[in-house]
Amino acid sequence: MNMKYLKFKRTAIVFAAVYAISVPALGYADWSLTKLGTLGGVSSYADALNDLGQVAGSSEFVPGGKDRAAHAFITGPDGIGMADLGAIRRFSFAEDINELGQVVGATTVDRISGFQHAFITGLNGVGLIDLGTLGGGNSRAFGINDSGQVVGRSEITLGSNTSHAFITGPNGAGMTDLGTLSTLTGRFSEANAINNSGRVVGRSHTDEGYFHAFITGANGVGMTDLASSLGLESESNSVAFDINNSGQVVGSFDVSPQNTHGFVTGPDGVGMIDLSTTFFDGRESSALSINDAGDVLVSVEIETNVFHSFLYRDGTMIDLNLLDAVVTSGFKTVGFTDINNNGQIVGTGVYNVFVPSSSEAFLLSPVPEPEVYTMLLAGLGLIGFMMRRRAAGV
């Protein structure tokens, strides 16, 4: 290959990358909503998605089935198609998915006892592997990072209701007990999410019997009382639901027996914004998911027993329930569960609030503003012009 051309091609690629980086963060003129269907039953539920827009969730798979049998599913990019992940015995439920399309959740392993075990799949949902337990009958996986490290909770002895948070090695290898924040036996903990450094967040009993949000170091080493480090009341409950790759944590904490407030921390779990106090006059809320840009999904009680989902971005709140794509979807109520680094959001809509089974998973995708497309096309056109001039020796 002509080395001058190769050098120029590399320069053009670098220019394209720099140009893309220099374009302001995408503004959104509109949103599109894609309904994901079911595996053959009447309902489906979305739990998580990756940056390709592959969605993981659960769906009934028997048309008109009386037992409401459900299997975990995965979709293709941008929510296209729905594949049944199967089950070891009868039921399975998906909880999270990584960038390689590995899905985690729980599956029934014995029809008589009803025991459920955490599972992990291979790439793009192929194959379902039983992760076992910490010694008890049941376990469940809630999170996975891009190395395939899995976190969740597991009973630690048979016949006991005591469960501890766990972490595995890459691709689900091994299961390590993360313990609890308590020095007492018989206490509970669970891990809800893990980032690519292996930092884990969740909740754990304290010696006083309250649940406190926790965060660990890399690869699950050392469980720290996040609630205490954030200055929350020791005699109250809190939970961490998600963590991004900067170590920002989201969750909720009790301010009274009848009210919880959602929160988001700074990097490495330092500092906290009380989202209820800052934006919603102290109304009940919970922060559920965060992406690497720091965009947060927040569920807020806007009226008594009426909840809306909000997107917290750049210091502002967007009511997702009031977006045109949601209002015209035909759903009576909606709930949102996860957001990826492209701003796509998954959730579940209910068609009839009096028929809980009338639900369907969906993917909500942002549509870039027209001027952003214009800028990108102009940049690509300039690169093409430069390459043609160089090829012609100009």
Q: Return the pLDDT at 281.
A: 96
Q: Return the pLDDT at 20.
A: 33
Question: Using N-to-C axis directions, what is the helix angle for 370-391 and 3-22, rounded to 10°?
Answer: 160
As beta bridge partners, residue 84 has: 73
Q: Is pLDDT of 95 > 60?
A: yes
Q: Return the pLDDT at 11.
A: 29
294-297 — which CB contacts under 8 Å span 24+ positions? Answer: 294/244, 294/246, 294/248, 294/264, 295/339, 295/343, 296/250, 296/262, 296/264, 296/339, 297/336, 297/337, 297/338, 297/339, 297/345
Interval 120-153: pLDDT, tens: 999 999 999 999 999 999 999 999 999 999 999 9
Which uninterrupted H or E stretch holds 173? none
Q: Return the pLDDT at 357.
A: 72
At 33, the pLDDT band (50, 70, 90 cuts) reads very high
**CA 329, CA 347: separation in Å to the nearest integer?**
13
N residues, the chain: 394
**CA 154, CA 162: separation in Å to the nearest integer?**
8
Q: Return the pLDDT at 17.
A: 32
Interval 98-120: pLDDT, tens: 999 999 999 999 989 999 999 99
**CA 203, CA 136: separation in Å to the nearest integer?**
20
Share of the chain above pLDDT 70, in %: 85
Interval 241-264: pLDDT, tens: 999 999 999 999 999 989 999 999
Q: Return the pLDDT at 161.
A: 84
CATH, domain range 31-392: 2.120.10.30
Interval 287-330: pLDDT, tens: 999 999 999 999 999 999 999 999 999 999 999 999 999 999 99
- Show the tokens assigned to 291: 């992406």
Contacts of 81 (CB under 8 A, 6+ apart): 75
Three-state secondary structure call for residue 260:
strand
**CA 49, CA 280: separation in Å to the nearest integer?**
28
Share of the chain above pLDDT 90, in %: 79
pTM of the shown model: 0.86
Q: Which of 65-74, 128-137, 142-151, 343-352 has the lowest mean pLDDT?
A: 65-74
Interval 45-60: pLDDT, tens: 999 999 999 999 999 9
At 394, the pLDDT band (50, 70, 90 cuts) reads very low
As beta bridge partners, residue 242 has: 250
Q: Return the pLDDT at 67.
A: 56
- Show the tokens assigned to 77: 């990019």
The angle subtended at Cα 257 by Cα 255 and Cα 258, nearest 5°, is: 90
Q: Is pLDDT of 7 > 60?
A: no
**CA 334, CA 299: separation in Å to the nearest integer?**
11
Q: Return the pLDDT at 3.
A: 36
Three-state secondary structure call for residue 352:
coil
Alpha-carbon dihedral 80, 82, 85, 87, rounded to 10 degrees: 160
Query: What does the DSSP 8-state code read for residue 26?
Result: P
Q: Return the pLDDT at 12.
A: 32
Cβ–Cβ < 8 Å for 44, 37: yes
Q: Residue 33's closest CA among 345, 368, 351, 357? A: 345
- Show the tokens assigned to 260: 């919880």
Q: Is pLDDT of 77 > 90?
A: yes
The angle subtended at Cα 138 by Cα 127 and Cα 210, nearest 5°, is: 125
Q: Taking residues 178-188, report their average pLDDT.
A: 94
Q: How far is CA 259 from the centre of its chain?
A: 24
Q: Taking residues 373-391, report their average pLDDT.
A: 48
Q: Taking residues 324-343, report their average pLDDT.
A: 97
Which uninterrupted H or E stretch holds 300? strand 296-303
Q: Taking residues 17-29, report their average pLDDT.
A: 38
Interval 231-241: pLDDT, tens: 999 999 999 99
* Count of CB atoms situated within 10 Å of the CB of 275: 24
Contacts of 3 (CB under 8 A, 6+ apart): none
Q: Return the pLDDT at 23.
A: 33
Query: What does the DSSP 8-state code read for residue 384?
Result: H
Q: Is pLDDT of 166 > 70?
A: yes
DSSP string, 238-249: EEEEEE-TT--E
Beta sheet of 150-155, edge-to-edge order = 139-144, 150-155, 163-167, 176-179
Q: Domain residue spans in the chain? A: 31-392
pLDDT mean across residues, the chain: 88
**CA 173, CA 165: separation in Å to the nearest integer?**
16
**CA 43, CA 61: separation in Å to the nearest integer?**
9
Q: Is pLDDT of 22 > 70?
A: no
